[in-house]
Structure formats: C-alpha cells, structure tokens
Structure 1
Amino acid sequence: MDDESWALSPDTRKPLPELIEDKLRQLIESGRFQAGDRLPTEPELAQRLAVARSSLRTALQRLQLQGIVEVMRGRGWYVRSTHVGERDETPLVLDGRISDSDLLEVRIALEATAASLAAVRADDGEIDEIAKRAKDHQTASSDDVEELLRTDEEFHAAVVKASHNELLEQLYRSLVPKLRGYRRNSYGTAELHNRSATEHDQVAWFLKRRDEGGARVSMTTHLLGLYNDLANRSDVPPDERATLNTYSYDEADEPRWHKS
C-alpha cells in the first residue's frame, strides 16, 4: 500500500483522533477494507498513519461506537460494517438545541437499562471484557484527558453492547458524541478519576454476579455524579434542575427523581 493513501488531512481545526477516524472511514468506504476484514495491528496502523497509538486507539474506539469496527479479544480490530455513510457518528438525528442535562437524563435511563439487561444476557466473555475495560480506565493516567475519555467510553460501550439490544445501542451511539465535549472537560483531578474507576468496578462486580438490580442501581449512581455536577452549573436554571433521592441498594430500593 502506498504511503500517500494513508496521509491524514491537513485540517488543523480538528483534533488528531478525528483526523485518524476520518482517514480510516475513508479507507473502509473506498473498499480498501471489507466487512469481516482484519485491520492491520495497532503498531502497524500507527506507523502507516504516523501517529501515536493513544490517538489511534481513540479513533478506533469512536468507530467502534458507530458500529463500523469491532475488537475481538486476542485477535485485533475487524471491520464490522462498510455502510459508513449510514452509520454516521450520530445515527439518529438529534435537535441541536437539546441541553446537556436532557442528554444526561436520557443517558441515565438508557445505561441503567443496559446494565440490567447485560446482567441477564451477557456471556462470560462479555463480562470479562467489561471488567478489562474497567481496569484500563483505572490504570489510565490522570493527566491524559484523551486516554481517560477513551477508556471511559470503551467501558460504557461494552456494557451497552452486552445488553444485546440493537436499538438501545443505536440510541446510546447518538448521545455519546453530543456529550463528549462536556465529559472531556469534566476530568480534572485524580480524585474524580479514582471515583469513576471505583464506580466502574462496582458495576462490573454486580454484572459478574448476574445481579440485575445491583447493576442497574450501581450504573445509575455512577452517572448521577456527572449529572449532579452539571445540574450545579450556573447555566442550568434552578427550576429545571432535578436529582435522584439518596438510597442504598436492597431488594425494594429504587432511585426516584424529584425537584432539587
């Protein structure tokens, strides 16, 4: 393969992972790689694109969220779908006026359901993959925002995929890009990173035990931290704020929304 076909766009307005994503989408759309084809290894891709592997992994993870590529444990990255135009980064059209708080409320509902379904439907390999993604996020450097975002998104995407609900997965994929900017800015301290990593572990713990209720509540609790942080911002009108009641998990307990 000639080097020129792997050259990235010179568009300096886009972050590097987005330029890599665009190039890989272009290669797939052009027919260079077909559905079911194994992509070159990460080191080889990084060399051909002349980029760092961290930026490459971020681009691959974004394509994974769109359903274009998938990773198979111990085997590498594969093309899942060549319908690049149909699997846009936002497969469902969302009104640009939708607020971050609205998006997060829907995300809580989707991922809580996904976690409970995953506890019932996921196979052992998928549960192990979720635990691995939780570990990757835990060991990511607190100073590397892009790595924190990538490993966090990979964990949540693995839980949603394990729900085995295609529509739920499409809805989730429509939300992720809309929230990426805010989530990137939410990483700020080692304490926040440690809290996030601990809560990922809690979700994985309940999933491993096939505890549907525990998985649902632990995922809700995890996402509630991000939601409450957003709700406390000055640009969210007080009369539009809501929160969840404080609760501890048992057989009868469920989170309930109320005005803050």
Structure 2
Amino acid sequence: MATENKGVIPVKQLKLSDAVAAQLESLIRSGHFGAEGKFPSERDLAEQFGVGRSSMREAISKLETLGIIVRSHGVGTFVLDSSEQSQISMSLLSAGEVTALELFNVRYAVEPDGAAMAANRRTAKDIQELKAILKEAAAPDISAKDFVKLDSEFHSLIAEATRNRLFIQIYKQVAPHHVIYSEKVILIQNRMALAHQGHLRILEAIIAQDEKLAKKEAYAHLKWAEKDLVKEINKLEEKKSKNKKSK
C-alpha cells in the first residue's frame, strides 16, 4: 500500500521539446546564445542538441510565445533584449498587434489577385482617383506622414476597384496594420521614391487592363518591400554587433 506524503508533488516526465526549451532559455539568459542578437538556426540547434527538427521547432515556438525570441521569415530569429538597437530592429518586425511577417503573408495572399481583379473591373473614375493620389504623392515636399496616408488610400482604392464586397472587407482588416507598419519604415533611405515607382507600375498595368501584369507588379512591389526590410534590419544588427565589440 502506497504511503501518502503530504506536500510532495508527483514528478511528471517532461516532453522533449519542453526540456529543450528550458535549456535554451537558460543558455540565452547566460549569454551563450544570442549574444549578438541573432539566434542559431533550427537545423543547427537540432544538431547541437541531438534532437529532431520537430522537437526543436516546438521548443523555439515556446520561447517565442514567452517573448524571449522573435522570428521573421527571410530575416532570422532574434533574442529580445533591452538595448536600443535591438528595440529598433524588433520594432520593424511588428505592425501593431501582428508581426510584419503576418502582414506580408496576408498581403501576398490578397494584393496580387486584387490588382488583377481591379485591372479587369476598374472604371474611368477609379483610374482618375488613383492617378490623383499618385500625383499628390509625387510632390517633392511631401511629408512621410502624408505619403503613408496616400499609400494606404492607393491600395484601398485598388481594393474598391475589384467590385468584390468580400475582398473589400478583407482589405479593410489589413489596411490599419499596413499603415502602422509603413509609419515605422517610411524613413528608410529612398523608401518613398521606390514605393512610388512600384505604385506607378501597378497603376499602368491596371490602366492597360492587363490582369497578369497587374498581378506581377503587385507581387514585385511586395517582394521589394520585404527585401528592403530585411536589408535594413541586417544593417541595424551589424551596427549593434559593432557597438558591442567596441565596448
């Protein structure tokens, strides 16, 4: 007959991923991992720990949920710390209540097809309004705040031009996050000029009622924006690394 031991908590066997997550957290806290902000890849960590990729993936997801690290597709995984440079780069990876990755995922799924639909269904009034927005955005003395506002209006008008009520409702959910994200990155060097060029190419395809080209240009515009973000974050991380080494 088992003896009852009051105050003794039964030992539970940890899941492998939980054990790995606990060890990773300990190594991060001690500065062993993420000393320069960047975190090792899932594959490298799985090899170092001698565990499968799926277990390591679960462990990394747990750390992300705890707010210890942040991940972004195409950029990498970063350890969150309180340094100024890290705060800047992590800020660029967010768009309000969602991450920049989540925003780009939805924009890739929505905007290219939206541009194609707009090319097929646009009216003369749509073209007139889109042209007016881009003309205003081309003003040499335009402020970053005004450009972001016009950028949002441009994409929203393309959504309206689809004449698809459900699509319009979906984009209305995306637009506020797009604005928050744009306000954070708009001052990156040449960002406004290059964004404007992308908008012009999308509009030209819509005017020509070339659905394939409109879809292609909308996708290319997103791809450029994503690559520009990656480049800027890499610059910030490199600067942070140099600052730490000089101390």
Between the aligned partners of 1:220 and 1:188, the Cα distance in structure 2 is 22
Aligned to 2:141: 141
Q: CA deviation at 1:189?
A: 5.1
Distance 1:213 1:145, change over 3 A: same
The CA distance in 1 between the partners of 2:203 and 2:176, in whole Å, is: 24
Corresponding residue of 1:115: 115
Separation of aligned partners in 1, 2:227 and 2:145: 23
Deviation digits for residues 70-99 of structure 1 (CA, Å, limit 9, x no counterpart): xxxxxxxxxxxxxxxxxxxxxxxxxx8642
SS in 1 for 2:190: helix
Aligned to 2:129: 129
SS at 1:164's partner residue? coil
The structure number with the bigger radius of gyration is 2
Paired residues of 2:156 and 2:175 also in contact (CA < 8 A): no
Stretches of structure 2 that go unaligned for 5 or more consecutive residues are: 1-95, 235-247
Percent identity over the alignment?
Answer: 23
3-state SS in 2 of match to 1:139:
coil
Which residue number in structure 2 is paired with residue 222 of structure 1? 221
Taking the aligned partners of 1:101 and 1:229, their CA distance within structure 2 comes to 13
Distance 1:164 1:193 in 2: 28
Q: Relative to structure 1, is the Cα distance of residues 97 and 135 closer, same or farther in structure 2, using a 3 angstrom cutoff? A: closer
Aligned equivalent of 2:99? 99
Q: In the TM superposition, what are the counterparts of 1:145-156 in structure 2 within 5 Å? A: 145-156=144-155
Distance in 2 separating the partners of 1:217 and 1:123: 21
Contact kept, 8 Å, 1:108 with 1:220, in 2: the verdict is: yes
Q: Using structure 2 for the length normalisation, give the TM-score.
A: 0.51
Q: Which has the higher contact order (CA 8 A, sep 6+)?
A: 2
| Structure 1, unpaired ranges of 5+ | 1-95, 236-260
CA contact (8 A) 2:122 2:161 kept: yes
Specify the alignment match of 2:183 in structure 1: 184
The answer on whether the counterparts of 1:101 and 1:230 sit within 8 Å (CA) in structure 2 is: no
Count of aligned residue pairs for this structure pair: 139
Which structure dedicates a bigger proportion of its chain to helix?
A: 2
Q: Does the C-alpha gap of structure 1 residues 141 and 223 become closer, same or farther in structure 2, counting only changes over 3 Å?
A: farther
Q: Residue 67 of structure 2 corresponds to which residue in structure 1?
A: none
Distance 1:151 1:141, change over 3 A: farther
Deviation of 1:190 (Å): 6.3
In structure 2, the partner of 1:163 is 162
Matched to 1:182, the amino acid is Y
SS, match of residue 210 in structure 1: coil
Distance in 1 of aligned mates of 2:110 and 2:135: 23
1:232 Cα deviation from its structure 2 partner: 5.1
In structure 1, how many angstroms separate the alpha carbons of the residues matched to 2:189 and 2:141?
Answer: 9
Aligned pairs for 1:47-62 (under 5 A) are none
Measured in 2, the distance between the counterparts of 1:211 and 1:162 equals 14
Task: Compute the displacement of 1:234 (Å).
Answer: 5.5
Distance 1:196 1:97, change over 3 A: closer
Q: 1:206 to 1:155 in 2, by over 3 A?
A: same
CA spacing shift, 1:130–1:97, aligned 2, 3 Å: closer
Contact persistence 2:98–2:177 (CA under 8 A): no
Q: Is the 8 Å Cα contact of residues 112 and 215 (structure 2) preserved in structure 1?
A: yes
State the shift of 1:192 in Å.
Answer: 1.8
